Structure 1
């Protein structure tokens, strides 16, 4: 008969949580945020509010000899009206940097979203416990990566041996901002999203400001990046501006300049990489807005389509071709006075030669295999020798 472990409860603090910009004390525990309160109060968009509260890249990190670990959480899970239930969010357990186990949290709150009219309904639910056992009793670095797509309040951490914060390993902090692909859409686990994969390959500590549907050149996001300590910075821009049909070509260029200007106020010489969109065939030369294909609702598999007209490009509507052209121009002109500013065409991460083998399942978002491809290519192009994020020569 196996006896229950002799549990020790450790208070969850900022020292144990990485990848969050701010922690909010709730009635249950701590809610990690990826935007600070001063940015959140300036936001009126429910999509961004949900996205920034989903802990993409957020993880508990500690050193312990524990053989068993329990984490109490209160997740908020999304349900789309008329679509099959989504799988539960995955918790990845890493031991000394390697994936050792995975778990899910039952229960939790439910957010019901009707894609046809944008309405939502919040249904409260109970907390849950994620448990990992059978670990080595040796001292080891342990990380628990929270689900990238479930708003998650962390309540309690229990182990059968003492816990101490993970020491500084000297890894550079990589601050990244992007859209739903950077957030993790359609990946199967939190360490399987492309920025997490690239960070692991590049030896960096990820701080991920990838916000599903919300990489929109918001000034408060730029200010949050300006005020956040980082050794490396990247911004992946464009697809959401086309998705929302948010601005015209005349406004896009100055808005990008303003976004970069704000980041540079706090990071005047930090390597800053501007990344244009990966290939997305529905929007390469067709403007937005993007809409759910109504025929897909009946099949239970959401797909998206472009609803703009290519003839509207002459009036200034944005397409991905135009976004890439403008971003390349802006970086080329700014780099004359900014030696640490770089540009990467997103089609080098996922391009026309990849589409036939790895099509986008819903016409917008990559699957798990494509996340890995993008992460590996980004690591090679950005972190390897000669890349913008490679260590300076001695």
Structure 2
């Protein structure tokens, strides 16, 4: 703590947080979750546990005259043996909606994952402090976006002036579910994941259920979305079903219908956008499962490869092309009775020409420039006049 400031400590409570579906009270603070406890109890998968506890889209939001802000957190860092080291997670500071600073918190817990066996080992570590100073001396809205790819326990908030929860600006809430691409994998910072960029451009409040490796049409995710208040809904479906090789076409079609049926139980007339996969050469015509490219790892690079056999499509194995076709068909069928249901072809967000210009560095995840392109295109297609999320679209 810097002694020259007269510090006020404000408990971190639900009223100061946006974008989390659940808050776990820990020994020293709060751990935001993006799936509720009941959903987490229905799946013991370590990948899901990691993804939903990484606070993509979760931010503190408050109003204050403070010129200095400190936030104590305990991050959980991930280390993959044999892979290049990951940079520390980035925090974005927004003042009245504009980026005004960035920071990282060192220390924290470390999870070391053995790339060969998948075994993970947790080593506890100390908390750290995020600090922003020289902020404008006036009443202002402040948002601190937590690192999208780093589990973050919130311990203490200190300011040199009182804080109050950010006022409700009357903006619509957009609830989105997708894979690691929606989660923000390889984006530069939490406000530059494609959903965060699209939300800012569309003037809406984001709740991001992009779950790395875990967009698998899980019924508990559908129920969590059903029970979460929202003005706009979207689901981006495909890549994880292929690269996890978790189901065939026979199971896929009823699972999509079931997911959409569940959403409609809680949101019968909310604009609902079904988004198919963006272009990914690995899996356009080759089924999963996905595997690490061991030759690339030997050179210190992280890349992926598809291990399925294209001939197995005849037996119902899923590829991105198969999924795009089937999602378009399902939405067309349902839209005859559901005028608020819409379809967006993922190739309109990032297609073959984009892939040639901005290739996916590891074969799977977009880089910072590609997140920006996808976010801008999504906003232009979804929020534009006449688009599925247009502000003037009437719902009942």
Q: Shift of residue 143 of structure 1? A: 0.2
Partner of 1:55 in structure 2? 55
Question: Given the alignment of the two structures, is residue 357 of structure 1 paired with residue 357 of structure 2, yes or no?
Answer: yes
Partner of 2:277 in structure 1? 277
Matches of 1:124 and 1:96, distance apart in 2: 36
Partner of 1:248 in structure 2? 248
| Secondary structure, aligned partner of 1:356 | helix
Residues 189-240 of structure 1: CA distance to partner in whole angstroms, max 9, x if unpaired?
0001000000000000000000000000000000000000000000000100
Matches of 2:338 and 2:299, distance apart in 1: 50
Scaled by the length of structure 1, the TM-score of the pair is 0.99
Does the Cα contact within 8 Å between 2:223 and 2:263 map onto a contact in 1? yes
Matches of 2:393 and 2:190, distance apart in 1: 33
Matches of 2:199 and 2:84, distance apart in 1: 33
Partner of 1:198 in structure 2? 198
Residues 175-195 of structure 1: CA distance to partner in whole angstroms, max 9, x if unpaired?
000000000000010001000
Gaps of 5+ in 1: none
Residues 28-61 of structure 1: CA distance to partner in whole angstroms, max 9, x if unpaired?
2000000001101001111001100000000000
| Secondary structure, aligned partner of 1:35 | coil
| Secondary structure, aligned partner of 1:129 | strand
Partner of 2:167 in structure 1? 167
Partner of 1:130 in structure 2? 130
Question: Given the alignment of the two structures, is residue 320 of structure 1 paired with residue 320 of structure 2, yes or no?
Answer: yes
Partner of 1:223 in structure 2? 223
Q: Shift of residue 84 of structure 1? A: 2.5
Partner of 1:303 in structure 2? 303
> Structure 1 residues 354 and 393 mapped into 2: Cα distance closer, same or farther (>3 Å)?
closer
Matches of 1:301 and 1:125, distance apart in 2: 28
Matches of 1:83 and 1:338, distance apart in 2: 47
Question: Given the alignment of the two structures, is residue 185 of structure 1 paired with residue 151 of structure 2, yes or no?
Answer: no
Matches of 2:387 and 2:301, distance apart in 1: 39
| Secondary structure, aligned partner of 1:212 | coil
Q: Shift of residue 117 of structure 1? A: 1.3
Partner of 2:36 in structure 1? 36
| Secondary structure, aligned partner of 2:15 | coil
Matches of 1:195 and 1:80, distance apart in 2: 26
Deviates more, 1:231-240 or 1:299-308: 299-308
For 1:71-150, list aligned pairs within 5 A. 71-150=71-150
Considering only aligned residues, what root-mean-square deviation do their CA atoms show, in Å?
0.9
| Secondary structure, aligned partner of 1:88 | coil
Partner of 2:390 in structure 1? 390
Does the Cα contact within 8 Å between 2:78 and 2:112 map onto a contact in 1? yes
Matches of 1:104 and 1:391, distance apart in 2: 36
For 1:256-271, list aligned pairs within 5 A. 256-271=256-271
Matches of 1:393 and 1:55, distance apart in 2: 30
Matches of 1:204 and 1:70, distance apart in 2: 27
Matches of 1:393 and 1:51, distance apart in 2: 33
Does the Cα contact within 8 Å between 2:84 and 2:302 map onto a contact in 1? no
Question: Given the alignment of the two structures, is residue 158 of structure 1 paired with residue 155 of structure 2, yes or no?
Answer: no
Matches of 2:10 and 2:28, distance apart in 1: 15
Deviates more, 1:383-392 or 1:68-77: 383-392
Q: Shift of residue 3 of structure 1? A: 5.9
Matches of 1:220 and 1:84, distance apart in 2: 34
Question: Given the alignment of the two structures, is residue 374 of structure 1 paired with residue 374 of structure 2, yes or no?
Answer: yes
Q: Shift of residue 163 of structure 1? A: 0.3
Q: Shift of residue 115 of structure 1? A: 2.0
Scaled by the length of structure 2, the TM-score of the pair is 0.98
Residues 342-364 of structure 1: CA distance to partner in whole angstroms, max 9, x if unpaired?
00000100001111210000000
| Secondary structure, aligned partner of 1:265 | helix
Q: Shift of residue 393 of structure 1? A: 5.5
Does the Cα contact within 8 Å between 2:30 and 2:154 map onto a contact in 1? yes
Matched pairs, number:
393
Matches of 2:4 and 2:64, distance apart in 1: 18
